[in-house]
Chain A
């Protein structure tokens, strides 16, 4: 029975939540909220906290079960299967989209001529390796890679200080709080991705009382820290580029990286940065693959090998179906907004609500 420790929970959660959100965050937030967009980031991530806590309390009541199994128990077998199938389909679809996004970034920038099947193939091999090795290895992977990503982000932010345009952030709240609210709504699906992943992860969490208490605190840490990192990036992007430019640049962080000059010798460390992006993308895609895998195993009771056979073809086909970068952006935003957000909201609230109501009786 694989198990992860509370610290691994922290790192795994942070890795999956941060995922690749730090790339589009500047553009997304600046376009919906303008100059004050950076204020919208942390509240959006904090929105995921009540849901995660609800999931944790469900885990306490139904130990060693993942969300689909709990649903089967609380709402009945068929509801469980329905939610399970929804979760499977959405995770696999989204995983495919994210895989394409990872590749897209490379094609736009540093390696424009490599055919994208080469990217996908090699990237997929990595995903399979990671998934095959199990969730424990994945947690350890995040333990190593997430701090590196965090350091790289903070480093980029700090090294961009010479490029700050003075006073670009002022005036604060020029248009009141409404734009910030729009920004928050735009990003809310992102912590929900973590909530869904947590649903599948429940099976592997430690059981002890003390550990559960620790995990409650760690959930706060995860969402707060990731929110902070994203806020930092957004802040820096707006400060360097101004809100209009930040909206235009599709991968603002990459451009930031390109602008870094360290004592006129080292410049253009963005290539190194892309390797880090690859790791973050790997974590995110693997997370959704895991979700799909757990779902298939729970709902259909398939053994691991067969489950893999099921998921791989679907997940590999999806990136092929979108060839235009512009379509990809739209697809991801729509999937986030109309698939992940509602599923997470409805599922968690319903489950927790019903379970709590029953307990009260």
Chain B
């Protein structure tokens, strides 16, 4: 019983406020700070078959046994062979000055002389050596010395840069992030070529040692947000961060709210644009998705396409998007409320049509709606897993044929099918998958409320949702900014309508940016 209570208590505390647990202790972790020894490295790593130990000797003044430790598959073998081994074993050996070196200062001398390697560093701790080896660098041990050299030689098979499937646009760049962190940071650097773009590295995950990079633009990003991000990240104690998306759950503000408070995207142009507005990005190795904080609800309804097409057109399209989102949430509930409690709203002929359609349907409107919505959810979820060629067909087949058959069998009324169809389509208008799921979830309680108390129930659901949204913050920024609290400039510039680029003279003060005035986007 007591442990049960403790578990409940644990569940309700926000992850980033939990007390720090002690990390799991594996034998190797205890040795991390011990000085290097090629022997110990060999002992630790030789059990895996993909780790290569290349031993060779350097003939300087004395014979120095060297060992190169690399992981097969993570290194670029051509660099290794041509530029490291060849230089060491062939070219340097031919250099007369080389003959004068002794084992004592071999490391420093090789460091200075091994010119072709651009990334090279001296290390002296076990932990560092293991990290570098397992990250794909080559570590060069010299005899019994407790210093070694790390040579950057990474190269592995990775996906080519392609357009992200879930975020395609008609206009605008079509590059997307890949799973390699360095590629991603390079893509970002190409968008923002100012030195104030800072990339701070950390390693997360006790067993995975995932590289995580926090990117921000100094003097634009809010220092409060930045420090909070770093603080929360540093408190993450997990065995593994397999995908960067799990970081989201560990750092978000409201784990129990269905609404997302962390934005993510796979496109460098989106990241760059958001960094310019003062947000902070979190990239993780192994995931093309990059997280962004802090965000408001409005951000989830925006598509980067909005910024590439012309303002006037995009205003209309945004309006349609918001309308679609409202329909996606409210349509079934309003249908239920109106047809069961408030029939006086219906124009007489419509009321007669609906009544005619419902003749013979065995279920009350609420059950009908619930059944149809559940079917819709099942179809949607199933459609995700089906292989592509079949997936499309099932979507159409499911909707039309099953719906039609259900109507003919008098299981549901035709108007219900229409309402559900419109709801389904409208829910796809929401650009963000997370928000879309939140919307789908909130539909159900609204329907139940509508079915039991009509418009009063819908009102209760809506107000409850509104109060909830108003009380959420994302890293300090209220979720429904800039509507409440009201920030007129941000509201006009970028929420429901978008001002043309030439009219956005100042940065929207969504987040307390340090330097709002210098963000002139207008024309000079």
In their complex, do chains A and B touch, with some C-beta pair under 8 Å? yes
Using CB atoms and an 8 Å cutoff, list the residues of chain A in contact with chain B: 5, 7-8, 11, 106, 110-111, 114, 118-119, 122-123, 125-126, 129-130, 133-134, 137, 139-141, 143-145, 264-269, 271-272, 274-275, 278-279, 282
Name the A residues within 8 Å of B34 (CB-CB): none
In angstroms, Cα B479 to Cα A144, docked, is: 13
Q: Chain A residues with Cβ under 8 A from B341's Cβ? A: 110-111
Contact A141-B456, Cβ < 8 Å, known A7-B485, A269-B345: no
Shortest C-beta distance, B343 to chain A (Å), equals: 9
Among A114, A126, A268, A271, contact of B463 (Cβ-Cβ < 8 Å): A126
Q: What is the bound-complex CA distance between A278 and B460, given in angstroms? A: 8
B345 touches A130 (CB 8 A): no
**A129 with B467: CB separation less than 8 A:** yes
Query: Would you call A125 and B462 a contact (CB within 8 A)?
Result: no
> Can you name 18 A-B residue pairings with CB atoms under 8 Å?
A110-B342, A119-B456, A126-B460, A126-B464, A134-B471, A137-B467, A143-B484, A145-B466, A264-B347, A267-B345, A269-B345, A271-B345, A271-B454, A272-B345, A274-B456, A278-B459, A279-B459, A279-B463
* Chain B contacts for A5, CB-based, 8 A: 485
Docked pose: A269 CA to B334 CA in angstroms: 13
* B464 near A125: Cβ-Cβ < 8 Å: yes
B463: min CB distance to chain A, Å: 5
A265 touching B456 by the CB < 8 A rule? Answer: no
Residues from chain A with Cβ under 8 Å of B485 in the complex:
5, 7-8, 139-140, 143
Bound together, the chains give a CA A288 to CA B462 distance in angstroms of: 22
A268 cross-chain contacts in B, Cβ below 8 A: 342, 344-345
Whether the Cβ atoms of A267 and B484 lie closer than 8 Å is: no
On B, residues with C-beta under 8 Å from A are 338, 341-342, 344-345, 347, 452-460, 462-464, 466-468, 470-471, 478, 480, 483-486
Residue of A nearest to B334 (CB): A272
| Min distance, Cβ A128 to any Cβ of chain B, angstroms | 10
**A7 partner residues in chain B, CB cutoff 8 A:** 485-486
Cross-chain contact of A122 among B338, B453, B484 (Cβ < 8 A): B453
Evaluate contact between A271 and B484: CB separation under 8 angstroms: no
Complex: how many Å from CA A126 to CA B459?
10
* Chain B residues within an 8 Å CB radius of A134: 471
State whether A123 touches B460 (Cβ < 8 A): yes
Q: Decide: B459 and A137 in contact? CB cutoff 8 A.
A: no
**A133/B471 in contact, CB under 8 A:** yes
Residues of chain A with a CB closer than 8 A to B478's CB: 140
Q: Chain B contacts of A11 at CB under 8 A?
A: 486
Chain A residue at smallest Cβ distance from B449:
A122
CB neighbours (8 Å) of B484 from chain A are 140-141, 143-144
A111 proximity list for chain B (CB < 8 A): 341, 453-454, 456
Give Cα A4–Cα B516 distance, bound, in whole angstroms: 22
Chain A residues near B462: list those with CB within 8 A.
275
**A111-B453, A122-B457, A139-B485 known; 10 other A-B pairs, CB under 8 Å?**
A122-B456, A126-B467, A130-B467, A140-B484, A140-B485, A141-B467, A267-B345, A271-B455, A278-B459, A279-B459
CB-based contact B486/A129 at 8 Å: no
Report A-chain residues with C-beta under 8 Å of the C-beta of B456.
Answer: 106, 111, 114, 119, 122, 274-275, 278
CA–CA, A8 to B485, complex, Å?
7
Decide if A129 touches B464 in the complex (CB within 8 Å).
yes
Q: How far is A130 from B468 in the complex, measured between Cα atoms in Å? A: 9
Residues in B neighbouring A274, C-beta threshold 8 A:
455-456, 459
From A269, which residue of chain B is reached at the shortest CB distance?
B345
In the complex, the answer to whether A278 meets B342 with C-beta atoms within 8 Å is no
Kindly state the separation between the CA atoms of A118 and B455 in the bound complex, as whole angstroms: 14
Residue of A whose beta carbon sits closest to that of B479: A140
Is A267's CB under 8 angstroms from B454's CB?
no
Within the complex, what minimum Cβ distance (angstroms) separates B479 from chain A?
Answer: 10
Closest to B347 in A: A265
Residues of B within 8 A of A139 (CB): 485
Per the bound structure, the CA–CA distance linking A119 and B459 in Å amounts to 11
Q: Which residues of B contact A133 (CB under 8 A)?
A: 467, 470-471
